[in-house]
Amino acid sequence: MALPIAAAAPRTSLLQTREALRRAMSEEMRRDPTVFLMGEEVAYYDGAYKVSQGMLHEFGPERVIDTPIAENGFSGLAIGAAMAGLRPIVEFMTWNFSLVAFDQIINNAAKIYQMTAGAYHVPIVFRGPNGAAEALGSQHSMAFESIYAHFPGLKVVSVGTPKDAYGLLKSAIRDNDPVMFMESEMLYGMKGEVPDEEFLIPIGKADLKRDGTDCTLVTWNKQIHTCLAAAEQLEKEGISCQVLDLRTIRPLDEQALFDAVCKTHRMVVVQEGYTFAGVGAEIAARVTEACFDQLDAPILRITNKDLNQPYNPTLEKMVLPSVDRVKDAVKLVCSRGKGA
């Protein structure tokens, strides 16, 4: 009898995050002529971070559009285009600049579907780098997940790997609702394996990046890598940690959070952003309300220190979450849970 032939492993390519994002946008623009990209320096300069490199040459200036430095204006234009049946991708040079377009995003993009009783969808993606990079100062270093997740009508995605960037951006472009798609300047050059065949990752589905038994680290965007590094070091000290990457902040994958805490009985949320009214506070509240009897210790949050981001690189590192701060928090919840 002939032995069964094992299925070949799917082919993958090693891509930078910027390359994965470019591949996702280019594939969607080839597939759907209503998709177009607009933003500051996305065309003739090939993108401030080279995410859109070469796209002007392929798709032309009618579909890869340089805009003035006027976020309120070009965001409003894109929202109108989405209402008229197009699918714009709007690149902010940094999410900090989205504050200039805050009225357009909140009072128009987020509310038009409800205010027109479903007559108009707003299929639009706002994307760009989010959070601190290196020595960019306080006006270019904020993380915006908690701000935009606060408002009904918006979906918020925050990615930390090339594979997730590709699969979730394709889903975001095809979604009929406004999607706030948050990347990281620090991760654009990071490489990772991405399958060569097309795939989509559902919005609203978390991913377990590492399994463990003693504590769950919940995080997203570039803090995934902080948590993975902390978990690796804690493993050598006899503490086993899960790392759960939310990937989507709204809608939130509550079931993944509940399943995780029911396994490890301890949780630390690691977020780039402020403690007060942050995503970590929302996660702690929901998990405590639903799974109180499963917790062996209070949920802890590791966030930015409560001050505006310093320009000085040494001070900047002190403000942001770090491997040592994560390790200390895990050890604290594990010591509180002993004998429970």
Residues of the chain with CATH 3.40.50.970: 15-195
Q: Are 253 and 201 in contact (CB under 8 A)?
A: no
Which range, 125-139, 238-252, 308-322, has the best average confidence (pLDDT)?
238-252
pTM of the model: 0.94
Q: Say which of 28, 140, 225, 272 is annotated catalytic.
A: 140
Query: What CATH class does 15-195 carry?
Result: alpha beta
Q: Are 253 and 203 in contact (CB under 8 A)?
A: no
Q: Which residues pair with 277 in a beta bridge?
A: none
Q: Say which of 19, 71, 91, 185 is annotated catalytic.
A: 71
Q: How is residue 120 written in tokens? A: 């108009």
Mean pLDDT value across residues 101-105? 98
Give the pLDDT band of residue 340 (cuts 50, 70, 90). Answer: very low
Mean pLDDT of the chain: 95
Beta strands in the chain (DSSP E): 12-16, 35-39, 64-66, 87-91, 125-129, 155-158, 179-183, 191-195, 207-210, 215-219, 241-245, 248-250, 267-270, 300-302
pLDDT in tens, 294-307: 999 999 999 999 99
The reported pLDDT for the residue numbered 10 is 81
Q: Compute the distance between CA of residue 172 and CA of residue 153 in angstroms, rounded to an integer.
A: 14
Q: Are 163 and 192 in contact (CB under 8 A)?
A: yes
For 257-271, give the DSSP string: HHHHHHHHS-EEEE-
Q: Is the pLDDT of residue 1 over 60?
A: no
Q: Is the pLDDT of residue 339 over 50?
A: no
The reported pLDDT for the residue numbered 336 is 74
pLDDT in tens, 191-207: 999 999 999 999 999 99
Residues of the chain with CATH 3.40.50.920: 207-336
The reported pLDDT for the residue numbered 5 is 62
Mean pLDDT value across residues 34-52? 97
pLDDT in tens, 121-130: 999 999 999 9
Give the pLDDT band of residue 9 (cuts 50, 70, 90). Answer: confident
Mean pLDDT value across residues 75-98? 97
- Please say if 91 is a catalytic residue: no
* 29-40 core/surface letters (b: 16 or more CB in 10 A; e: else): beeeeebbbbbb
Looking at residue 82, its amino acid is A
Q: Compute the distance between CA of residue 166 and CA of residue 68 in angstroms, rounded to an integer.
A: 27
- Please say if 71 is a catalytic residue: yes
Q: Is the pLDDT of residue 159 over 60?
A: yes
Is cis: bond before 129, omega within 30 of 0?
no
Q: Compute the distance between CA of residue 204 and CA of residue 251 in angstroms, rounded to an integer.
A: 5
Topology of the domain comprising 207-336 = Rossmann fold (3.40.50)
